[in-house]
A and B are shown apart, each in its own frame.
Chain A
Amino acid sequence: MLLIDCPFCGKRNESEFVYGGPAMPARPADPSALDDAHWVDHLTVPPNPMGPVEERWWHLRGCGSWLTIRRDTVTHAIAEVRHGG
């Protein structure tokens, strides 16, 4: 169970949060401008490193913030927590 240091609330148990998926690149302003292959990549291909990955967590049962955290997928150590994307 992770301990996530929410910038508003401080260190809180993972059970207060909802996992919101890996941080994908920002959604393009105009998806129709992308060719098919790029759009498919945007939707389906997440970064999947052995090491730091950015992911979204919703502090649903706490202050309600959406956080982006940088977490090592091997050690689970969290290097950074920030508000928003």
Chain B
Amino acid sequence: MAAEPGRLPEGGRIDRSRPLQFRFDGRAYTGFEGDTLASALLANRVRITARSFKYHRPRGVMGAGPEEPATLVELEGDLASGNRPATTVRLTDGLVARSVNAWPSASFDLGAVNQALARFIPAGFYYKTFKWPDWHLYEPSIRKAAGLAGAPRESSNDGYEARHAHTDLLIAGAGPAGLMAALVAGRAGARVMIVDEGAEAGGSLLNRRLSIGDQPAMGWVAAAVAELSAMDNVIHLQNATVWAYREHNLLMVHERSPENSSLSGRSWRVRAGQVITATGAIERMMVFEGNDRPGVMLASAVQAYVNRWAVRSGQRAAVFTNNDSVYAAAADMARAGIDVAAIIDSRDSVPDHARALVPGMEILAGHTVGKVHGRRGLRAVTVAGRRIDCDLLAVSGGWNPAVHLYSQSRSRIVWDERLASFVPGDAAQAVLAAGAANGAMTLGAALAEGAARALAAVAALGRAAAMPALPEAVDTPYTVAPLWTAPGAAAKSFLDVQNDVTVADIELALREGYSNIEHVKRYTTGGMGIDQGKTGNVNIIGAVAERQGKTPGEVGVTTFRPPYTPVDFGAIAGRRAGPVVLPYRHTPLTGWHKDHGAVMYEAGARWRRPGYYPRPGESFQDSVNREARTVREGVGIYDGSPLGKYEVKGRDAGRFLDWIYTNVMSSLTAGNGRYGLMLTDDGMILDDGVSFRLAEDRFLVSTSTGNADAVWQHMEKLLRIERPDWQVRITNVTSQWANATICGPKAREVLAAMGTDIDLAQGAFPFMAFRDGTVADLPTRVVRVSFTGELSFEVNVRPRDLPTLWEAAMEAGRSHGIAPIGSEANHVLRVEKGFLSLGHEVDGTVDPHDLGMGWVMSKKKPDFLGKRSVALRRSAGRPRRELVGIRPLDPDRQIPEGAPLTPGGRKEATEGFVTACVWSVVESRWVGLALLTDGRARIGGRAYVRLPDGIIEVALCPPVFHDPEGERLRS
């Protein structure tokens, strides 16, 4: 076990009583509770922690938070996940991590040969080459090289949850601005949610040494956190990132390893009345040759490591800046024992308030870093010809307010010349920015803004709040003079460290005419990495602006989009996984069907229904034939519960049905029903079903299973939007009625045997009538409809009674050989009858005439939905595809459903297709239905099914194979 050479003897927010063992790239190290993987690696002086994406250059840790562009690791074991910035990986005991994109390790990486090829592979090189003979030749090796981490493996302990939250005010960020805002709004009684992605609250205060009032800033933070936790109107989350800002103030939060739960992640959908983005600011890189060398770090990160983790990132440092913020950092570095050799400031004059922070330190104003020495890590820099030995170069290119969320809300961001950064502009939603996220770069200003924004937000919510007395907070003013690219910056000056995009790449893009910033992004891939350019994007914009003679504001930004930082897909799906990924519906008999061996299918509208009930040793076809024969010859029973059912009631109910059906329903007498077709106003069939008149002003409309909701919507919309003055009310009774349909020549006997007070005689209870009464002592409504072509009784009961009814029918039918039938046999039976089926014959292109159902189009009614369109379409006189029956000349030849018909079976445009093909139990052969151009006129002739492996000749016949007169169903 190695000691930790970089760790300071005391200080920091780590728990030295809890050492932790971990492995990185195969070697063992120690850190402490409170460390991140990055701080622990630095404490162990591991310098090369990564290899770059394209050139495999050695890289070290550069940042201290989610902005980290360089060190991405892959975690193994229970925590397995890839492409994690080491700066955001909380150190745990036994953690195993390795660098991505390097083999065998970051320190010794074979891919490094790409460095030698660098000049041949500038931005966009692949557009210019790899064309011959074919991209395919090159793609596999390119794909293997790309991709950083490996794809995650399946892991069993992935608990994720997604939940909703509602809040008056959502505050993103628990730095001083966010905490102050939460205190003000919380004290005013508003519902507040404050969400921060760090392990603990405090934001930048964790990394700096400042005071608030008369105590250290972190004391103030602790007091604020305590006060908030005592308010039950406040929810405070740490380790939680606001990663998306969507329309209508919906924000998404990803909470990692939530407390008091076994979850690995929780996703919050937060609907907020008001939002304050107090997300702080992110430091920019400096752009000079060799700025990616291990040992070059963001100054704020170096400062964070000494203050928060008691880690010296190097022994002897230089500092390179264009702004004031590094002076406090340099002072903190020096206090921690880092020997600060010099501060190189590109500005000609350094403000006194900055100088005052580093008395005695050498400041090289008006200078830039010329050259970086050291191949595998920094050894020295050259400034104006002078070599400064150092193993650490702390750089700051200025600060970018973290406007990501603000911009995601589609609010404007604008260029601020004074801050040399983009800042929030006009808001597009109820959002305010506070603190460094709004360009308020000092602690006092952040506190004041946090309070002021909270007051404004609370006022907008209609609440009164008091401006608190603001504690005194001394901080250094912030001034900056941008240096977008240092003199001499070229092919090894990295703008996007992660994607290896250099100044030379940007210049090439501009030279080749990819001059819009969006082109620059896409041509070079700058900003398209996992960090989405947090440290680099504005530098790219600055570099482009400089070269185009524009301001960065004129160049503009690329679009900020979610997520702010990457989010596990598991957290987004939450609990929806496996068997409950989609809803499923059951009837009261679903259990029975399964117990009786039914093969269950998805049957539309989320229902799962029996397809067939195979008996031991039976093939699929055997079962279906047996079930179909049972109905044709004896009696079958099926569960018809899912059929859509609606009560339509009111003075205008009849008139309404006449309008939405093609035929007349208002002439029905109570106790009777009628089959009807519903068209869209475009004149296409929408649905079919039987409507019954229950009373003068009351109808029961039934719909197909799959279309039930669509028909309901259709009816409701027509009524409420087009005919609000009509008195019609619709009640969905689909789930109030379940049914068992008993069908076949012996159906009447079975029903009678069950015991009923309904007169079942043909004369007393004709086809298409219904009767209320009891069956097997249960209250029922029995309906004489038939979808099989046989005598059929649909016995409707309350769902709670269906199992009893069903058992009674099975019992009563036993002597008749009753058997349950599934949807496959039903399909055979309806095809034999030529009954239409939605999804087969009705595919959104047919009208009733096409199906030979012109009779259903009322000639009496002046208008009904679809009438005008059917007439208009037909007036063009174009030939239509019409429903016909088909019999393959070879009776044993099954035709795949969907197969095309072409003239003579030739390889030509189709003239129709086979909508259904079944083994007919009445004809003992394959029969089918087809839609065929001018089909009806061709009945008696032949047509040809064209399959990839042959042609099937079929004889055309009327589309009915069984009982054309319908005597059996009326019997």
Contact = CB atoms under 8 A, between A and B. Distances in A.
Contact of B720 (A32, A36, A65): A65
Contact of A27 (B249, B428, B681, B716): B681
A85 B250 contact: no
Contact of B724 (A36, A64, A84): A84
Nearest to B712: A60
A1 to B, nearest CB: 5
A39 B682 CA distance: 10
Interface stretch (B136-144, B862-870, B901-909): B862-870
Interface in A42-85: 43, 56, 58, 60, 64-66, 68, 75-76, 84-85
B137 to A, nearest CB: 46
A31 interface: yes
A65 B428 CA distance: 29
Interface in A1-54: 1-3, 13, 18, 20, 26-27, 30-32, 34, 36, 39-40, 43
Interface residues of B, number: 25
Nearest to A74: B410
Contact of A20 (B269, B717, B872): B717
A75 B428 contact: yes
Given A1-B250, A75-B428, A40 B872 contact: yes
Contacts of B717: 20, 56, 58, 66
Interface residues of B, dominant DSSP: helix
Given A3-B250, A76-B247, A32 B713 contact: no
Nearest to A4: B248
Contact of B722 (A3, A18, A58, A85): A85
A66 B721 contact: yes
B271 A3 contact: yes
Given A32-B862, A43-B682, A85-B722, A1 B868 contact: no
B717 to A, nearest CB: 5
Interface in B237-253: 246-250
B248 A3 contact: yes
B716 A36 contact: no
Contacts of A68: 721
Interface string B241-277: 0000011111000000000000000000101000000
B722 A32 contact: no
Nearest to A2: B248
B410 A75 contact: yes
Contacts of A27: 681, 722
Contact of B868 (A18, A39, A64, A75): A39
B249 A3 contact: yes
A26 B872 contact: no
Nearest to B722: A27
B713 A60 contact: yes
B868 A31 contact: yes
Interface string B845-881: 0000000000000000011000111001001000000
A75 B720 CA distance: 28
A51 to B, nearest CB: 15
Nearest to B710: A18
A85 B720 contact: yes
B248 A84 contact: no
A2 B246 CA distance: 9
Contacts of A13: 271
A75 to B, nearest CB: 7
Nearest to A1: B250
A32 B859 CA distance: 13
Nearest to A21: B717
Nearest to B872: A36
Interface string B707-726: 00000010011001110100
A27 B717 CA distance: 12
B724 A20 contact: no
A85 B724 contact: yes
Given A36-B872, A43-B681, A85-B721, A66 B428 contact: no
Nearest to A75: B428
Nearest to B864: A31
Contacts of B247: 1-2, 76
B722 A20 contact: no
A42 to B, nearest CB: 9
B735 to A, nearest CB: 15
Contact of A26 (B248, B722, B869): B722
Given A31-B863, A76-B247, A84-B724, A58 B713 contact: yes
Nearest to B681: A43
Contacts of B869: 39, 43
B720 A66 contact: yes
B275 to A, nearest CB: 14
Interface string B664-682: 0000000000000000011
A25 to B, nearest CB: 11
Of B410, B681, B862, B868, most buried by chain A (CB within 10 Å of CB) is B868
Contacts of B722: 26-27, 85
A47 B789 CA distance: 47
Taking each of B269, B720, B869, which has the highest tally of chain A beta carbons within 10 Å of its own beta carbon?
A: B720
B567 to A, nearest CB: 17
Contacts of B428: 75
A34 B249 CA distance: 45
Nearest to A20: B717
Nearest to A64: B716
Contacts of B250: 1, 3
Interface in B400-440: 410, 428
Contacts of A36: 872, 875
B248 A76 contact: yes
A20 to B, nearest CB: 5
A84 B724 CA distance: 7
B713 to A, nearest CB: 6
Contact of B862 (A30, A58, A84): A30
Contacts of B246: 1
Contacts of B872: 36, 39-40
Interface in B13-63: none
A25 B682 CA distance: 15
Nearest to B273: A11
B471 to A, nearest CB: 37
B681 A18 contact: no
A56 B720 CA distance: 10
B716 A30 contact: no
B868 A32 contact: yes
B545 to A, nearest CB: 28
A48 B869 CA distance: 23
A53 B717 CA distance: 18
A12 to B, nearest CB: 10
- Give me the 3 closest cross-chain CB pairs, A-B, nearest first: A66-B720, A31-B868, A85-B721
11 contacts: A1-B247, A2-B247, A31-B867, A32-B862, A32-B868, A34-B868, A66-B717, A66-B720, A68-B721, A85-B722, A85-B724
Interface of A: 1-3, 13, 18, 20, 26-27, 30-32, 34, 36, 39-40, 43, 56, 58, 60, 64-66, 68, 75-76, 84-85
Given A76-B248, A85-B721, 6 more contacts: A1-B246, A1-B250, A3-B271, A36-B875, A43-B681, A56-B721
